[in-house]
Amino acid sequence: MKEFVTLKNGLKMPRLGMGMWYIGEESSKARGEYEAIRMGIDSGVKLIDTAEMYGMGRSESFVGRAIKNYDRNSLFLVSKVLPSNAGRNHIRSALEHSLRRLQTDYLDMYLYHWIGDTPFPEVVESMERFVEEGIIRSWGVSNFDTGDMIELVEHSGGKNCVVNQVLYHLGSRGIEYDLLPYMKKQDIYPMSYCPLAQGGSLSRGILQDETVLKIARNHNLSPSQVLLAFVLANEDMIAIPRSSSARHTLENAAVRNITLSEEELELLNQAFPAPDHKVPLDVC
C-alpha cells in the first residue's frame, strides 16, 4: 500500500489514520481509548483526525493528553471548525481553543466541518491567513458535494483546498460518480470517514455479505479489514477508521500490508456496485 499522498502544497499526508468521533467522551472507556491511540501511533499510524464538535472539545483534549509524550513533528493532526464558528469573527478563537486542547501550536490540517451560513470566500480568507501565519499547514473541507466543491474552487484561494472529507465505504460509493473525478482534476484528495461501514444509510449487511466473508477467509482477515482494504485500494484515498480498542486499531494498521487482487476487487464491485447516476451525498 502507498503510505502517503503528496498534497498540492508539497506536504506529505499519511493515507491511513485514526478517527476520533465519540472518542474521549466517556470516562469509563478512557483507559482502552488511550491504549488504542498509543498502540496506533506505535504501530506507525500517525494521522489523527478530530474536531471541536466531538464531545464539544472533549475529544481534542483527550487526544492532547494521549499524544503529549510523542514527538509532535512525527504526527499529522487534523481538526475541524464548526460552521457556527467559521466566520471571521469566531474562527481564530475556535482554532486557538482547538490548539490549546490538543496541546500543540499548529495543526497539519484544518477542515471546515460542513457548510453553514458563512460565505465561502470568508472561510477561505481565514484559512489562507492561518497557513501564512504557520498555525495550520494546510486546509480542506468536509461533507462537500460536487456543486459545493465547484463553487469553492471558483473563489480566490479556493484552489488551495487540499482535502474533502466525506463518508465513503464499500456500500456507499455515490462519490465515485462525479465528486471523485472532479476532485482528481483539482488535485484535491478524498478522505473517507466511516470506511468500515460504521455509518450511512447504505451500511447494513455489508459485514455479513458472503463475498466479503469469502475474501476475509482467503486472507485470514476480519470482514472490517476487507472493507478497509477496499477503500485503500484507491491510491488517492485517505481513510480514518474509528476504533476505541487497541486490538481493532492494530487490525486497521495491519491493512497497510494487505493487497486485494484485481479479481477480488471485481467481486466486491459486483456485490456492491457504484451507482451509475448522481445520488445525494451520504452522511452519518
Residue numbers annotated as active site: 54
Place of cell 456485490: 271
CA dihedral defined by 244, 246, 247, 248, rounded to 10 degrees? Answer: 40
Cα–Cα distance measured from residue 231 to residue 180, given in angstroms and rounded to the nearest whole number: 13
Answer for the pair 33, 62: CB distance below 8 angstroms, yes or no. yes
Cα–Cα distance measured from residue 197 to residue 68, given in angstroms and rounded to the nearest whole number: 31
Cα–Cα distance measured from residue 262 to residue 277, given in angstroms and rounded to the nearest whole number: 24
Query: Which triple of cell numbers denotes residue 268?
Result: 466486491
Percent helix, strand, coil in the chain, to 5, is: 45, 15, 40
Cα–Cα distance measured from residue 150 to residue 186, given in angstroms and rounded to the nearest whole number: 10
Nearest residue to 43 (alpha-carbon basis) of 254, 257, 259, 258: 254
Query: Which triple of cell numbers denotes residue 111?
Result: 477542515
Nearest residue to 88 (alpha-carbon basis) of 142, 134, 127: 127
Q: In this structure, are strands 12-14 and 4-6 parallel, antiparallel, or unpaired?
A: antiparallel
Place of cell 508539497: 10
